[in-house]
Amino acid sequence: MNIIGYTLTSVGVVFLFFGALGILRMPDVYNRMQAGTKATTLGAFGTILGVGFINPEWFFKTAIIAAFILISNPISSHALARGSHKIGIKLWQKKDIDHYARAEATLQEQEGDGE
């Protein structure tokens, strides 16, 4: 069990490191948010579950915490990205397609057709 725990913890730390690196290196808020969310979700998940495997008496608590992180991180990131888009934070200049704006325009057209 310790080998699994140390492996999960090590992999989690590597994901957290690459998440921090992605936050520093990405060009705009949306790319930074994506890098930070995916990497920190997996990193925290691995690290916390690794601690649970190392200390079996903590496993139930760490599994609950890991599940909460697995659910809440993507939801909060989505809310932040949507809010950033709504207040007008621009995409990176080399990004030429705004999928969210397209989807919202399509939704507005569909709502207008339904009346």
State pLDDT tens for residues 22-34. Answer: 889 888 888 888 8
Residue 68 has pLDDT above 80, yes or no: yes
Any domain includes 113: no
Any domain includes 103: no
Q: What is the pLDDT of residues 36-49, one digit of tens each?
A: 888 889 999 999 99
Any domain includes 52: yes
Contacts 24+ apart (CB under 8 A), 7-10: 7/50, 8/46, 8/47, 8/49, 8/50, 8/53, 9/46, 9/47, 9/50, 9/51, 9/54, 10/50
> Do residues 73 and 12 touch, judged by C-beta distance below 8 A?
no
Confidence at residue 99, expressed as pLDDT on a 0 to 100 scale: 66
Any domain includes 55: yes
Residue 54 has pLDDT above 90, yes or no: yes
Give the count of domains, the chain: 1
Coil, strand, or helix at residue 11? helix
Confidence at residue 113, expressed as pLDDT on a 0 to 100 scale: 65
Any domain includes 111: no
Any domain includes 24: yes
Any domain includes 94: no
Quote the domain boundaries for residue 50: 2-89
